[in-house]
Amino acid sequence: MTEVIVLEKVKSALNRVVENLEKNRQYLNDLDSPIGDSDHGESVCNAFHKVKEVVSDSSAQDIGTLLQEIGRSIIFSGGAAMGPLYGTAFMDAGTALAGKKDLSREDLVKMWEAFAKGIQRRGKVELGDKTMYDTIYPSFQVLKQAFEEGKPLKEMLQAAIEAAHQGMESTKDLVSKRGRSSRLGERSRGHIDPGAASSYFIVEAFFGSLMED
pLDDT > 90? residue 37: no
Specify burial of residue 177 (Cβ count, 10 A radius: 0-12, 13-18, 19+): middle
Residue 24 near residue 41 (C-beta atoms within 8 A): yes
- 67 vs 50 pLDDT, higher one: 67
In a domain, 1, yes or no: no
Residue 20 lies in a domain: yes
Task: Report the range of poorest mean pLDDT among 11-25, 46-60, 93-107, 181-195.
Answer: 181-195
* pLDDT, mean of residues 124-128: 90
DSSP conformation class of 184: G
- Range(s) of the domain holding residue 181: 6-211
Orientation of helix 63-75 relative to helix 82-96, angle to 10°: 160
Q: What is the pLDDT of residue 179?
A: 57
pLDDT, average across residues 109-118 = 98
Question: What's the whole-model pTM score?
Answer: 0.91
Instruction: Please count the structural domains in the chain.
Output: 1
CATH of the domain at 88: 1.25.40.340
Lowest mean pLDDT among 8-22, 44-58, 74-88, 138-152: 74-88
Could you tell me if 123 and 89 are in contact, meaning their C-beta atoms sit under 8 angstroms apart?
Answer: no
Look at residue 57 and tell me if it is in a domain.
yes
Task: Write down the pLDDT at residue 81.
Answer: 73
Q: What percent of the chain clears pLDDT 90, i.e. is strictly above it?
A: 67
Query: Within a domain: residue 116?
Result: yes
**Residue 167: which pLDDT band, with cuts at 50, 70 and 90?**
very high
Q: Taking 70 as the threshold, does the pLDDT of residue 138 lie above it?
A: yes
- Cβ-Cβ contacts under 8 Å for 73 (sequence gap 6 or more): 50, 51, 53, 54, 87
Residues above pLDDT 70, as percent of the chain: 87
Contact partners, residue 48, CB within 8 Å, separation at least 6? 17, 18, 21, 74, 77, 79, 86
- Model confidence pLDDT, tens digit, residues 7-33: 999 999 999 999 999 999 999 998 877
Whether 126 has a pLDDT exceeding 60, the answer reads yes
Q: What is the pLDDT of residue 76?
A: 82
CB atoms within 10 A of CB 195: 34
Tell whether 146 is covered by a domain. Answer: yes
Q: Report pLDDT for 213.
A: 75
pLDDT at 49: 82
Is 207 domain-assigned? yes
- Amino acid 97: pLDDT: 98
* Phi, psi dihedrals of residue 103, rounded to the nearest 5°: -120, 130
Residue 186 belongs to some domain of the structure? yes
